[in-house]
Amino acid sequence: MEISADQLGRLVSFIDKIESETYPETPTFMHSEITGIAIDNLISMGCINTNSHILDIGCGQGPALDLFRDKGYVSTVGITLNNEDVRICQEKGHNAYKMDQSFLEFPDASFNLLWARHVIEHSIFPFFTLSEFARVMVPGGTLYLEVPAPETSCHHETNPNHYSVLGHGAWISLLRRCGFTLRDEGSYSFLTPMGPDEYWGFICTKNK
């Protein structure tokens, strides 16, 4: 399909609008706690070693980057669309850049682990975004993808910055279409002031 300059311009304008609506991601105790549990699980499964190249997609202000560094993983890169978050991560000494998750500015097969916690729901086209994740991963590499479940008491699908809060089966199907094999999965259930909530965590291997 041939895309006209006018069509491409409308897409770029739409993406620019979404970027302008981002906000700083201040770490919270609950999210930092889940991050620690998930990283320990990846380590126990042998998904990371000291030479692993790690990309934190949607790094926020660096809670996962902090933990990876504390555990001795130094080849880490974080990306986010928010300027404030980039600044804070860089002040902490992290390699952090402003970058769209759907248009990763890295060569093919650059990373052994992609950490993508609560970021894919911000994509307007998750099929394309997951394909981009796969492109920058080495064959046999690991993707950790964590998403909010739809239609809980928190109704994440109504968040103005959430565009793809999908059901469990839809995520599994998209991951498989993009060249991933599901290795393990889990859920995090907890109570919020609005009632019960749930997150799903998928540990996937990129097919060789």
- Shortest CA distance to 34 belongs to which of 75, 81, 83, 67? 67
CATH fold of the domain at 29-206: Rossmann fold (3.40.50)
Q: Output the pLDDT for position 27.
A: 87
Q: What angle do CA 203, 191, 124 make, to 5 degrees?
A: 50
154 close to 197: Cβ distance less than 8 angstroms: yes
The residue written with tokens 């109704």 in the block is 155
pLDDT over 90 (residue 23): no
Residue-wise pLDDT tens digits, 127-160:
999 999 999 999 999 999 999 999 999 999 999 9
Count of H helices and E strands in the chain? 6, 7
Residue 80: alpha-carbon gap to chain centroid: 10
* Mean predicted lDDT score pLDDT of the chain: 96
Give the Cα separation of 200 and 122 in Å (integer): 15
* Beta strands per DSSP E along 22-154: 54-57, 76-80, 96-98, 111-117, 137-148
Three-state DSSP state, 107: coil
Buried b (16+ CB within 10 A) or exposed e, 19-52: eeebeebeeeeebeebbeebbeebeeeebbeeeb
Residue percentage of the chain with pLDDT more than 70: 100
pLDDT over 80 (residue 51): yes
199 close to 119: Cβ distance less than 8 angstroms: no
Q: Please return the burial class of 113, using the count of CB atoms within 10 Å of its CB with bins 0-12, 13-18 and 19+.
A: buried
Give the Cα separation of 134 and 55 in Å (integer): 12
Q: Output the pLDDT for position 3.
A: 86
Q: Between helices 168-177 and 126-135, what is the axis angle to 10°?
A: 40
Residue-wise pLDDT tens digits, 88-121:
999 999 999 999 999 999 999 999 999 999 999 9
The reported pTM is 0.96
- Name the strands in the sheet holding 96-98, side by side, starting at the edge strand that comes first in the sequence: 96-98, 76-80, 54-57, 111-117, 137-148, 195-206, 180-192
